[in-house]
Amino acid sequence: MTGSLRPEDREANRELASLQRQLNTLAGLAMHSAAPRGVRVFPSVIISATDEKLIVRAEVPGMALEDFDISVSGETLIIQGSRLTGEGLEGGWYHRRERESGGFSRAIRLPVAVDADAVEATYMAGVLTVSLPPKRPAKPRAIPVKVVEG
Amino acid sequence: MAEGKEIAVTEKREVDTRIHQELRSGNWFVPAADIYETPDRVVLVMDMPGVCFDCAHLNIVDDELVVTGHVTHGEDEDDYVLYREYDVGHYHRHFGLPPTIDRERIEASMADGVLKVAMLKVEEPKPYRIPIKVSE
């Protein structure tokens, strides 16, 4: 088929193919720029700060505080757990299933080192709140200077 | 983990304010919902994190179940946000009610940001057999 094309048709074909490649490149770029949102790990978080502490929040409805496994080491906060939906089906059948079910594990790098012993977590209305006071810098110890007479 | 399946991140779906003009102010999201049916009921389960039990409202308007939840937990306005992956907002969604649902027997409960609505089905009228006598 291609062999029977007139030279001007072949030229047009080449241009079309070139346009197609350019479009693909553009589409690839668009997909690439959207990727960081797509590869995120559950749960999504909001990290905020007050004068005294860092606060990490996540919306994980339908759990209990005991279902979370939260640990801190240095500047890393790890939130793990599993949320299972569809347990109380009572022998029924689904018409619609949108609520995500499964396990999750997320490590979050914090902007400062935190005091692991003072970390507190609360769970209210499906929102997990972890408050993390920063590690206090070692206080400079004042060394009294004695006056030595002599 | 328990199921061997990891939860995927899903973006919150925003309410279309071109349709729901009354929801123009503030952030409004469509809550993720599961709907299942058992022999005697239809159960609707919705994720509405940040909504306490007395901030959720259910109304029946023209054969539609209208769900609204006002978020009360989830963000402190005084905090300085360093990093944000999701927006906090209220929830709104409509569900068409089939005629098989008994409007008088809908029960709702809320715990840990999950609203569960149990709707009993209308009891089907049992066929009544009319005895036929032999006429002499």
Kindly tell me if the per-residue pLDDT of B98 is higher than 60.
Answer: yes
What's the pLDDT score for residue B2? Answer: 43
What CATH code is carried by the domain that includes residue B67?
Answer: 2.60.40.790
Is residue B8, in this structure, part of any structural domain at all?
no
What's the pLDDT score for residue B82? Answer: 92
Strand intervals (E) in B1-128: 13-14, 28-30, 33-37, 41-47, 56-61, 64-69, 80-84, 90-96, 101-111, 114-121
Q: Residue type at B27?
A: N
Query: Cα separation of B125 and B104, whole Å?
Result: 17
Given B3, B35, B39, which is nearest A102 (Cβ)? Answer: B3
Q: Which residue of A has its CA nearest to B46?
A: A99
Given B9, B72, B88, which is nearest A42 (Cβ)? Answer: B9
Going from N- to C-terminal start, the domains of chain A cover 2-38, 45-88+98-132
How is domain A45-88+98-132 classified at the architecture level of CATH?
Sandwich (2.60)
B74: left (phi over 0), alpha (psi -120 to 50) or beta: left
Given A82, A92, A101, which is nearest B36 (Cβ)? Answer: A92
What stretch of H or E contains A93? strand A93-97
Structural domain of B56 = 13-18+27-77+85-121
Chain A residues close to B48, C-beta within 8 Å: 61, 126
Q: Give me the residues of A, 66-105, that contact B with CB < 8 A.
A: 80-86, 89-105
Q: Is A124 on the interface with B (CB under 8 A)?
A: yes
What's the pLDDT score for residue B114? Answer: 96
Chain B residues close to A56, C-beta within 8 Å: none
Measure in Å the smallest separation between the Cα of A23 and chain B Cα atoms: 27
Given B4, B47, B51, which is nearest A62 (Cβ)? Answer: B47
Q: Give me the residues of A, 50-69, that contact B with CB < 8 A.
A: 50, 54-55, 57, 59-64
pLDDT in tens, chain A (150 residues): 444 567 677 777 777 777 776 666 655 544 443 334 446 789 999 999 998 999 999 999 999 888 999 999 889 999 999 998 876 787 889 999 999 899 999 999 999 899 999 999 999 999 999 999 998 777 778 888 888 876
Number of domains in chain B: 1
The stretch B91-111 carries a mean pLDDT of 93
Q: Give me the residues of B, 74-103, that contact A with CB < 8 A.
A: 74-76, 78-86, 88
What's the pLDDT score for residue A33? Answer: 39
Q: Is B124 on the interface with A (CB under 8 A)?
A: no
Q: Which two tokens stand for residue A97?
A: 């299933």
Q: Residue type at A114?
A: V
Q: Is the dihedral of CA A58, A61, A64, A67 positive or negative?
A: negative
Is residue B111, in this structure, part of any structural domain at all?
yes
Kindly tell me if the per-residue pLDDT of B32 is higher than 80.
Answer: yes
